[in-house]
Amino acid sequence: MSEAIVYERVGDIAVLKANNPPVNALGLAVRTGLIDGIARAESEGTKAVLIYGEGRTYFAGADIREFGKPPAEPFLPDVCNRIEASPLLVVSAMHGTALGGGLEIALSTHYRIAVPSARMGLPEVHLGLIPGATGTQRLPRLTGVEKALEIMTTGRQIGAKQALDLGVIDRIADGEPREIGLAYVQELLDAGATRRPVGEMPAPEPIDFDAAYDATLAKGRGQISPAYAVRAVQAACELPFAQGVARERELFRELMGTDQRQGMIHAFFSERAVGKLPELKGVEPRSLSAVGVIGGGTMGSGIATACLLSGLNVVLLEMTAEAADAARGRIEGNLGGALKRGKISQTRFDELTSKALSLSTDYHSLGDVDLVIEAVFEDMDVKKQVFAQLDAVCKPGAILASNTSYLDINEIAASTSRPGDVIGLHFFSPAHVMKLLEVVVADATAPDVVATGFALGKTLGKISVRAGVCDGFIGNRILKSYRTCADHMVLDGATPYQIDKALTAFGFAMGPFAVADLAGLDIGWATRKRLAPTRDPRERVPTYTDRLCEGGNFGQKTGKGYYVYEAGKRAGVPNPEVTDLIEAERAELGLTPRAFTDEEIVRRYMAAMINEAAKVVGEGIARRPLDVDMTLLFGYGFPRYNGGPLKWADMQGLDKVLADIRAYAAEDDYFWQPAPLLEKLVAEGRTFDDLNKEAA
């Protein structure tokens, strides 16, 4: 018998303990161990079997690392059915997270007990899949179709109490899973309880499955697996159990072969790999309990909120008492939102706003903080003045960080007497909501300062990505490139609205023009004016947006930009003035507009994104392709089911992407300069994922 399942006898009860750290994933050894364990319990004449997990959890699901490889027997659905078919009384004792195949195993046992903190769910949709080990057939038999569909299509976890109310488990008890499990089995045996196979329960009542399918597909913004879950549950209602299981398997296998499954599993592992840097192995972060924030505008107040919500004390410094009051108002507004959503209690709110937060206009109040994050105006001279003052007052070893979007961290660091302590911590707006943090490492930044940047990210619940210094770091540099490509397409004949539509159909949360309206058109206007004197004459920069800005139209905040926003509505309608302005500009430039298909829009936009991303990796600004993928996923609304731009590029075929870029370069060889790394990978027949693997 495999060591992944440890067999033990306690009187008439056989105990099967899962021992496959860290999360008792149901890999081949575990599946074999379960089958062998049940068979042995039967052959030894026991009366019942208890299944539980050693360590932090009951089974957390199938072993995701096995996906994409040839499946090995025994398959998980067969293991589930074997457990349920046993003549012995089989019971699960659950703790930690019983997820996916883990919950499916539990549903195949005849009774389920869980500790109060146990959580369970069927999160397969987050991997581009559906439950594929009888979960779509068993869960609705216990909870009814609607609840089962809600659990499966959202992939959300439920707690033990809700699971009990829904009939997913039979009892909650405090204690060690083994002890509560053994006591429960004994009680069941004493009471003469009989087997209770869920698969033999009557089929659940059907609902209007076509309507549910359409609604789920629409909600998934292009993601297909939740809609597949609807069809699998439909089979539970319409087919006998065994045929329903076969239908589930068929749908599961179909999804296993899709790019969406590959993309989402890439995202799952990359999300975990992104914070693991070989250079930080064995490097201890500095201690972190009090944080200073300079500037309490949009970003500073968001950063302060994020720190407070994660248990850090914050001293926020503003220029004047009035500005400090305004910053307090913004932070209290943010925390009020958390209170309203039930994320914090009133007592916690009071503590955070009184004890944990203090506002000041005096640099000396920063003498004790461990880390300062500067979020003042985006102006190098202002930043240098701030850092000179921080250098004078902060204690030795305090980390001095800048939230700058574009400015050179090396230059900022060089203006202090302690460049080793200086780093970029680039948050995204709103900083207490957005998951991404770019940790920008300058030439002199000390390794333990980098490690502290990552430790802060973890404390704040962010996905932290290491970035090198360049204009815009990873994300904003790539954004500039694909945004420019969109601008070119407008000059050549597409409308901003067609482009936004094509890209939301691809899966982006918003198109680039709707994003620009949200961020404020004045920012881009200021940048264009700043760069105009030094601009290369070959650069194509449309000026029609300047006309909008000159008229005081800055996007959502003024009610008008590319779109017109009615009061109280977040989504806008196309602004007819924009079309006129574009036509006037094309006429002035002597451009004859041509038609673009949505497919061409996506191909060009993605080619621009991939090409710049390949330059970012090639130059070492991002260490690995997966770092770019996670930046775009968590900071720029890239659809998770497409994995990230470089994973998507791999799936398209890098030769195809490069061929596109070369074809576009025939029209504009200034903008479309193929990335050397992309050319190299194509020449060698390798992929971006090969680079990820080499770096692991």
Q: Which residues bind ligand 3HC (CB under 6 A)?
A: 22-23, 25, 60-65, 76, 97, 99-101, 104, 123-124, 127, 129, 131-133, 135, 272
Residue 152 near residue 122 (C-beta atoms within 8 A): yes
User: Considering the rule CB under 6 A, would residue 134 count as an interface residue with ligand NAI?
Assistant: no
Per DSSP, the three-state class of 3 is coil
**Residue from 42, 44, 73, 104 carrying the catalytic annotation:** 104
Cβ closest to ligand NAI, residue 386 vs residue 450: 386
Name every residue whose Cβ is closer than 8 Å to that of residue 445 and which is 6 or more positions away in sequence: 409, 413, 419, 420, 422, 423
Picking from 633, 245, 615, 269, the residue whose alpha carbon sits closest to that of residue 428 is 633
Name every residue whose Cβ is closer than 8 Å to that of residue 328 and which is 6 or more positions away in sequence: 296, 316, 353, 357, 359
Distance of closest approach, residue 96 Cβ to ligand 3HC, in angstroms: 7
Cβ closest to ligand NAI, residue 245 vs residue 514: 514
**Residue from 84, 124, 318, 374 carrying the catalytic annotation:** 124
Mask of contacts with ligand NAI, 426-445, x by CB under 6 A? -xxx----------------
- Residue from 218, 382, 532, 683 touching ligand NAI (CB under 6 A): that is 382
Could you confirm whether 104 is annotated as catalytic?
A: yes
Distance of closest approach, residue 66 Cβ to ligand 3HC, in angstroms: 8
User: Considering the rule CB under 6 A, would residue 556 count as an interface residue with ligand NAI?
Assistant: no
User: Considering the rule CB under 6 A, would residue 295 count as an interface residue with ligand NAI?
Assistant: yes
- Residue from 177, 296, 468, 643 touching ligand NAI (CB under 6 A): that is 296
Q: What is the CA radius of gyration of the chain?
A: 28
User: Considering the rule CB under 6 A, would residue 299 count as an interface residue with ligand NAI?
Assistant: yes
Residue 296 interaction partner, one of ligand 3HC, ligand NAI, none, beta carbon < 5-8 Å per kind: ligand NAI
As a whole number of angstroms, the distance between CA 16 and CA 60 comes to: 16
Please give the residues from 409 up to 428 whose contact with ligand NAI meets the rule CB under 6 A: 427-428
Binding segment for ligand NAI among 129-137, 311-319, 351-359, 686-694 (CB under 6 A)?
311-319
Could you confirm whether 438 is annotated as catalytic?
A: no
Name every residue whose Cβ is closer than 8 Å to that of residue 646 and which is 6 or more positions away in sequence: 610, 613, 614, 617, 625, 626, 628, 629, 688
User: Considering the rule CB under 6 A, would residue 405 count as an interface residue with ligand NAI?
Assistant: yes
Binding segment for ligand NAI among 111-119, 198-206, 371-379, 449-457 (CB under 6 A)?
371-379
As a whole number of angstroms, the distance between CA 228 and CA 256 comes to: 12
Please give the residues from 207 up to 266 whose contact with ligand NAI meets the rule CB under 6 A: none
Residue 457 near residue 464 (C-beta atoms within 8 A): yes
Cβ closest to ligand 3HC, residue 276 vs residue 364: 276
CA dist 194 → 88, 89, 143, 548, 657 (Å): 9, 7, 21, 75, 61
Backbone φ and ψ for 432, nearest 5 degrees, come out as -90, 0
As a whole number of angstroms, the distance between CA 78 and CA 179 comes to: 28
Asked whether the CA dihedral 417, 421, 426, 430 is positive or negative, the reply is negative
CA dist 314 → 390, 449, 542, 665 (Å): 16, 19, 43, 50
As a whole number of angstroms, the distance between CA 42 and CA 29 comes to: 20
Residue 127 interaction partner, one of ligand 3HC, ligand NAI, none, beta carbon < 5-8 Å per kind: ligand 3HC
Residue 545 interaction partner, one of ligand NAI, ligand 3HC, none, beta carbon < 5-8 Å per kind: none
The helix, strand and coil proportions of the chain, stated in percent and rounded to the nearest 5, come to 55, 10, 35
CB neighbourhood size of 603 (10 A): 17
Residue 128: what residue type? G
Cβ closest to ligand 3HC, residue 19 vs residue 415: 19
Residue 48: what residue type? A
Residue 317 interaction partner, one of ligand NAI, ligand 3HC, none, beta carbon < 5-8 Å per kind: ligand NAI
As a whole number of angstroms, the distance between CA 142 and CA 107 comes to: 9
User: Considering the rule CB under 6 A, would residue 303 count as an interface residue with ligand NAI?
Assistant: no
User: Considering the rule CB under 6 A, would residue 517 count as an interface residue with ligand NAI?
Assistant: no
Cβ closest to ligand NAI, residue 82 vs residue 384: 384
Chain residues in the site for ligand NAI (CB under 6 A) = 294-300, 317-319, 323, 375-378, 382, 386, 403-405, 427-429
What residues are labeled active site?
104, 124
